[in-house]
Structure 1
Amino acid sequence: MASNRPAPEAPFVPSQRDSETFGYGEYRTDEGPWTEWNPTEESLRPVRGRHRVAKQRGGLARSSTVLGVGVIAAVGAGGMASANTGKPPLSISMPDLPSVGSLLSDDDTPEVTATALSTVGTTSAQTKQSGSDAGEVLRSRILAQAEQQQDQIESKAAADAAAAAEKQAAAAKKKAEEEAQAKAAAAKKEAEEEAERKAEAARLAELARQYTLPTSSYTITGTFGQAGSLWSSGYHTGLDFAAPTGTLIKAIHSGTITEAGWAGAYGYRTILTLDDGTELWFCHQSSISVSVGQKVSTGDVIGRVGATGNVTGAHLHLEVHPDGADTGIDPMSWLRSKGLNP
C-alpha cells in the first residue's frame, strides 16, 4: 500500500474562522488555533523512516479499503474452492465483524455493517455450482486421458499381435517354400537319376545287341584275381566258363583275328582285337575255326571249348587286355559294362 505524506495543517487565523465548522454542528477544539503556514524546502522534505498514513475523517474510506481487500480474498478463496474438483466446494469465510468501520474510525464515524469476506461477490449456490462444474470437467478430462492411454495400449498390443502374426506367416511361408524347393529338388534329382538309369539301360541294351557272351550252357568256376598254386602268376588272370568239350565259342564283338594257334600253358588260343584296340583272349580250345587277319562279327563261331594246356577240366579261359597291354583286367566287370551278365 502506498504511503501518503501527512497533510500540512493550515495556520490558524482568528479573524477568518467561521463560526460553523464544516461537517460538525459545533466548534471543535482540535481545529485551532490556527497559524499561518509557509511551505519551505525543509518542510517539503519527504518523511524518512516509517511511513505514516494520514488520519482521515470518517470510517467509510477505511472500511472501503478493507472491503476491497476482502473482495480480493473472497475471489481468491472462490477460485481455490472451484479448483478443488474432487470434493464438494469448501466455503472459506472470515469472521463477520459487527462494525469494521467502527474499529478503524473515530467514535462519531457512522457505523458500517461488515459482510463475511468469503461471500462477497458470489452466492453459495454459485460457488457450489462452479466447483461442481470444474470437478466434472476435471473428471471428464481424467477419464478421457485414461481412455486415450487404454486405446494406445490396445493399439500397441494389436500392432504387436499383427506384427507377430505377420512374422509367423512369413516364417511359415518361407518354410513351405523351402520344403517345396527341397521336394522339387529331390523330385528333379530322382527324375534325373531315373533318366540316367533309363539311358544306361538303353545303352546297355544297344550294346547287348552288339556284344554277346562267348559261350552257352556254362558254369563260372574261376574269377579274376583268385589266388592259388594252380596259376603260375599266383593268382587267376581271367574268367573261367566251364562247359562240355566241343561247346561253341563265339566272337563277343566284331573285330579282327590277330592270333590263332598254340600258346603253351594257354593251350590253343585265339586273340580277337576290337576296333578300340582291346584284345580278347580265348584259351584252352579244343579247336580253332578262324585264321589270322580274318574279320568277324558279333556271334560268329571262332572255336570250341576244350581242355588243352594247363587245365584240370574242359573250360573256356577268357582274358581282357585293353590296348593290347600285357596285364589284363577283370573280364566280369568288362562284360557287364557292355550290357552282358555272365
Structure 2
Amino acid sequence: MASNSPAPEGIELQEAPTAGAWGEWNPTEDSARPPRGKHRVVKQRGGLARSSTVLGVGVIAAVGASGIATAQDRPQVAISMPSLPDFGLGGDGQHADAEGAASGTAAAAKQTGIIAQQAAGHADAGATLVGRILQQAESQESAAESQTRAQAERAAQEAAAAEAKAQRETAQKEADDARAAAEKEAKEAAEAKAEQERIAKLAGSYSLPTSAYTLTSHYGDSGSMWSSGYHTGLDFAAPTGTPAKAVAGGKIASAGWSGAYGYRIVLELEDGTEIWYCHLSSMSVTSGSVGAGETIGRVGATGNVTGPHLHLEVRKGGSTMDPLAWLESKGLSV
C-alpha cells in the first residue's frame, strides 16, 4: 500500500510487490534492495553481531577484572537487549530502522561500560580485600613476634631476678656466717677474758692449804690402806708443825678427834662446800669464822698415817670430789 504522507526529500519510495506476484512477501537481506539516497538501512545482522561482540568483550573484561571475587559475591547485573527495528520498506520505516540500530548499539555500549565499571569496582573491592587480608596477616605476625619478644624479655628478666636473688641470698648467707663467726669469736674471747678475771679474782679470795709441800697421794688412788679401797683426798707431805691455812673464807663447822683421820677441822664455805683438814698435830681455830689464808692448824701425823702430811678432802652434798681440780678451778696453781 502506498503511503499518503509525502516522502522526505532525497528518499525514493517504492511500492511493495503484491502477494500475487511473488507469493508471501518476506523481505530478507537478499530480497530487500537498498534504497537510493542519503539514508540507507543498516544491515541488522551486522549491527546485532557488533553489539553482541561488544557485550561479550565487556563481560570477559568484567570477569577478568573481578577474578579475585567469588561468583557468589558478584552482584547480578541486569542486561537489557535493544528491540529489533521494523523492517518495513517505507521511507519512515527505513529511517526508523537506522535509528533503532544506532540506538541499540549505543545502549549495548552503555551497558558494556556499566558492566566494565562494575567489574572495575569488584576489582577494586577485591584488591582492597587482599590488602586488608595482608595487613591483618602482617598485624598478626607482628603481634606474634611482639608476644614472643615479650615472653623472651620476661623470661630473661625472671632469670636475672632469680640470679640476683640467689646472689643476694649467697651474699646474705656469707655475711651471716661471717657475723656469726665474729660473734662466736668475740663471745669466746669475752668468755676467756671473764674466766681470766674470775680466776684472778678467785686467786685473791682463795689460798693454798699449806706451803713447802710435796704431793704424795692423789684423789682416786687405790690401796688397802684406805678403808674405802681408794684415796678420797689429796696428800700434802710437809714437816710436822707446817701451818695449815683456810683455803677460803668460811666458818668452822667442827674441830676434834676423828679416828683414822686423827685431829680434823671441817671448814664450811659460803656455798656449802666442806674442806676437811686431817692428821693435824694441833688445831689453832676450833669455831667461828675465818678468812682465806688464815692459819687454822698445823701439819701432823695423827691417825692412820705413815708420816707427817696434810690430808685435804673436798666434799659437797655428802660426796667427795678431786681437791686438785677444785683448787685449780679457783685459780690456784698447785
2:300: which partner in 1?
306
1:173: which partner in 2?
168
CA pair 70-243 structure 1, distance change in 2 beyond 3 A: farther
Q: Following TM superposition, by how much is the alpha carbon of 1:233 offset from its aligned partner in structure 2, in angstroms?
A: 0.7
Counterpart among 49, 54, 64 of residue 77 in structure 1:
64
Q: Equivalent residues in 2 for 1:152-171 (5 A)?
A: 152-171=147-166
2:239 counterpart of 1:247: no
Q: Is the 8 A contact 1:284 1:317 kept in 2?
A: yes
2:219 counterpart of 1:224: yes
Q: Equivalent residues in 2 for 1:141-152 (5 A)?
A: 150=145, 152=147
- Counterpart Cα distance in 2 of 1:298 and 1:168: 67
Q: Is the 8 A contact 2:282 2:300 kept in 1?
A: no
Task: Tell me the secondary structure at the aligned position of residue 181 of structure 2.
Answer: helix
Q: Equivalent residues in 2 for 1:96-111 (5 A)?
A: none
Counterpart among 194, 197, 206 of residue 199 in structure 1:
194
Q: Equivalent residues in 2 for 1:330-341 (5 A)?
A: 330-341=322-333
Task: Tell me the secondary structure at the aligned position of residue 215 of structure 1.
Answer: coil
- Counterpart Cα distance in 2 of 1:166 and 1:25: 110
| Corresponding letter in the other structure for 1:224 | Y
| Corresponding letter in the other structure for 2:308 | A
1:96: which partner in 2?
none
CA pair 314-133 structure 1, distance change in 2 beyond 3 A: same
Q: TM-score, normalised to structure 2's length? A: 0.61
Q: Is the 8 A contact 1:257 1:290 kept in 2?
A: no
- Counterpart Cα distance in 1 of 2:15 and 2:258: 185
- Counterpart Cα distance in 2 of 1:271 and 1:218: 21
Q: Is the 8 A contact 2:275 2:313 kept in 1?
A: yes
- Counterpart Cα distance in 1 of 2:63 and 2:217: 127
| Corresponding letter in the other structure for 2:306 | T
2:244 counterpart of 1:257: no
Q: Is the 8 A contact 2:219 2:323 kept in 1?
A: yes
CA pair 278-155 structure 1, distance change in 2 beyond 3 A: closer
Q: Is the 8 A contact 1:272 1:281 kept in 2?
A: yes
Q: Is the 8 A contact 1:261 1:288 kept in 2?
A: no
Task: Tell me the secondary structure at the aligned position of residue 269 of structure 1.
Answer: strand
- Counterpart Cα distance in 2 of 1:154 and 1:225: 84
Q: Following TM superposition, by how much is the alpha carbon of 1:177 offset from its aligned partner in structure 2, in angstroms?
A: 1.2
Q: Is the 8 A contact 1:321 1:328 kept in 2?
A: yes
| Corresponding letter in the other structure for 2:61 | A
Q: Is the 8 A contact 2:2 2:15 kept in 1?
A: no
Q: TM-score, normalised to structure 1's length? A: 0.59
CA pair 274-156 structure 1, distance change in 2 beyond 3 A: closer
Task: Tell me the secondary structure at the aligned position of residue 222 of structure 1.
Answer: coil
- Counterpart Cα distance in 2 of 1:334 and 1:183: 37
- Counterpart Cα distance in 1 of 2:166 and 2:190: 35
Q: How big is each residue's C-alpha offset from its partner over 1:214-272, in whole Å with a ceiling of 9 and x where there is no partner? A: 12333433332333222111121112223344432211012222333332211222222
| Corresponding letter in the other structure for 1:319 | E
Q: Following TM superposition, by how much is the alpha carbon of 1:152 offset from its aligned partner in structure 2, in angstroms?
A: 4.8
- Counterpart Cα distance in 2 of 1:25 and 1:157: 97
Q: Is the 8 A contact 1:213 1:252 kept in 2?
A: yes
CA pair 309-81 structure 1, distance change in 2 beyond 3 A: same
Unaligned runs of 5+ in 1: 1-13, 32-56, 83-108, 123-131
Q: How big is each residue's C-alpha offset from its partner over 1:48-79, in whole Å with a ceiling of 9 and x where there is no partner? A: xxxxxxxxx65645754564454243233234
Number of aligned residues: 261
CA pair 70-275 structure 1, distance change in 2 beyond 3 A: same
CA pair 311-154 structure 1, distance change in 2 beyond 3 A: same
